[in-house]
């Protein structure tokens, strides 16, 4: 199976490219705007800016993959709120370009979406929950879903929640790495305790993508961790795991932060459909932290 990965320099893109390289049946084309900053054992790299319709058409026409896994997106929630044109270009228009090329060349598309398409009024959520985004980022991701659902090509959408992990060049941070870094530097941190999520190890999300590609799954899947936690819970459990001073973690709530974008208070996912239909099984949070620790130590 020939699989083209967009956004290969991102956290998920790196994990997915590495995982697919372990599959002897997968022929991987890793794409990104800039040359990937890690080596791949098999397959090829191709420069691709998915906001450029001509490039998208040329690259997909050249490689003719069986499936595209779109991990590329503008995910900085506050930046999306203040730079709306850029957000729409990266998260919606780019997906429309991919869809058009997939229709033209008969390519399946597997797209990554987010819990931020929901308003946080309740959770955890299954795939039948009604989207109602609070932020421009969430609205852009929902619009991308709608473009894919209306397309004439085969598709699957994998929604996920609060992804954490280690990039090969340490270029991307996330809540686990942020907590660890600050506590190691003996800096007090304020962490909210009124938002609920099911944090997702990047390797687990990559596995979900791989399974969906292999099974030629169609439809919407919720793919995340299964433990409901607040960011404060995540911070405390991270401190305990790495034997850091958890007294530096100060509990607060969302009203104390003035951010451009509104965050949903309670999301988190029910992952039974992914378990049943994909064979998806995530690591526990502590197992995920152990994988992060190993990768940090091994460089």
The answer to the question of residue 251 being in a domain is: no
Q: What is the mean pLDDT of residues 107-130?
A: 98
Which two three-digit tokens encode residue 91?
């998260």
The answer to the question of residue 25 being in a domain is: yes
Q: What is the mean pLDDT of residues 148-175?
A: 91
The answer to the question of residue 236 being in a domain is: no
User: Which pLDDT does position 41 carry in this prediction?
Assistant: 76
Nearest-angstrom CA–CA distance, 269 and 108: 25
User: Which pLDDT does position 40 carry in this prediction?
Assistant: 78
pLDDT bin (cut points 50, 70, 90) of residue 257 is: confident
Q: What is the mean pLDDT of residues 123-149?
A: 98
The answer to the question of residue 232 being in a domain is: no
The answer to the question of residue 51 being in a domain is: yes
pLDDT bin (cut points 50, 70, 90) of residue 171 is: low
Q: What is the mean pLDDT of residues 133-150?
A: 98
Report the b/e string of 106-115 with b at 16+ CB within 10 A.
ebbbbbbbbb
Q: What is the pLDDT of residues 265-278, one digit of tens each?
A: 999 999 999 999 99
Q: At what angle do helices 285-298 and 202-214 cross, to 10 degrees?
A: 100
Q: What is the pLDDT of residues 197-220, one digit of tens each?
A: 999 999 999 999 999 999 999 999
The answer to the question of residue 52 being in a domain is: yes
Q: What is the pLDDT of residues 11-65, one digit of tens each?
A: 999 999 999 999 999 999 999 998 877 777 788 999 999 999 999 999 999 999 9
Please report where in the chains the tokens 């197992």 appear, as a residue: 287
pLDDT at 74 over 70: yes
> What is the residue-averaged pLDDT of the chain?
96
User: Which pLDDT does position 19 carry in this prediction?
Assistant: 96
User: Which pLDDT does position 173 carry in this prediction?
Assistant: 83
Nearest-angstrom CA–CA distance, 13 and 255: 34
Highest mean pLDDT among 16-25, 79-88, 163-172: 79-88
For residue 217, the domain's CATH number is 3.40.50.720
Q: Are 144 and 98 in contact (CB under 8 A)?
A: no
pLDDT at 170 over 70: no
In whole angstroms, how far apart are CA 278 and each of 21, 82, 207, 221, 223? 20, 37, 10, 9, 10
The answer to the question of residue 282 being in a domain is: no
Nearest-angstrom CA–CA distance, 276 and 297: 35
- How many distinct structural domains can be found in the chain? 1
Q: Are 95 and 55 in contact (CB under 8 A)?
A: no
What is the span of the domain harbouring residue 108? 2-164+200-224+269-275
């Amino acid at each position: 199976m020939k699989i083209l990965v967009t956004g290969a320099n991102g956290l998920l893109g790196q994990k997915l490219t590495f995982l697919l390289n372990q599959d002897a049946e997968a022929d991987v084309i890793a794409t990104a705007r800039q040359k990937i900053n890690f080596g791949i054992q098999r397959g090829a790299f191709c420069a691709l800016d998915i906001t450029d319709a001509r490039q998208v058409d040329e690259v997909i026409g050249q490689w003719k993959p069986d499936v595209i896994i779109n991990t590329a997106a503008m995910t900085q929630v506050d930046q999306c709120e203040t730079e709306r044109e850029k957000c729409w270009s990266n998260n919606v228009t780019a997906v429309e370009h991919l869809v058009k090329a997939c229709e033209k060349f008969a390519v399946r598309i597997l797209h990554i979406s987010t819990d931020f398409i929901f308003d946080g009024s309740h959770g955890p959520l299954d795939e039948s929950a009604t989207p109602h985004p609070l932020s421009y980022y969430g609205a852009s991701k929902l619009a991308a879903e709608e473009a894919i659902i209306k397309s004439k090509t085969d598709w699957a959408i994998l929604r996920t929640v609060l992804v954490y992990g280690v990039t090969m060049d340490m270029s991307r941070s996330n809540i686990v790495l942020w907590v660890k870094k600050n506590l190691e530097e003996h800096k007090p941190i304020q962490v909210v305790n009124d938002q609920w999520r099911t944090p997702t190890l990047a390797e687990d999300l990559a596995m979900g993508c791989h399974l969906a590609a292999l099974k030629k799954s169609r439809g919407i899947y919720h793919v995340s961790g299964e433990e409901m936690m607040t960011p404060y819970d995540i911070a405390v459990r991270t401190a305990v795991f790495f034997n850091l001073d958890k007294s530096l973690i100060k509990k607060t709530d969302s009203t104390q932060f003035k951010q451009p974008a509104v965050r949903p208070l309670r999301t988190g996912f029910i992952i039974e459909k992914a378990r049943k239909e994909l064979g998806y099984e995530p690591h526990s949070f502590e197992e995920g932290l152990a994988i992060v620790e190993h990768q940090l130590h091994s460089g």
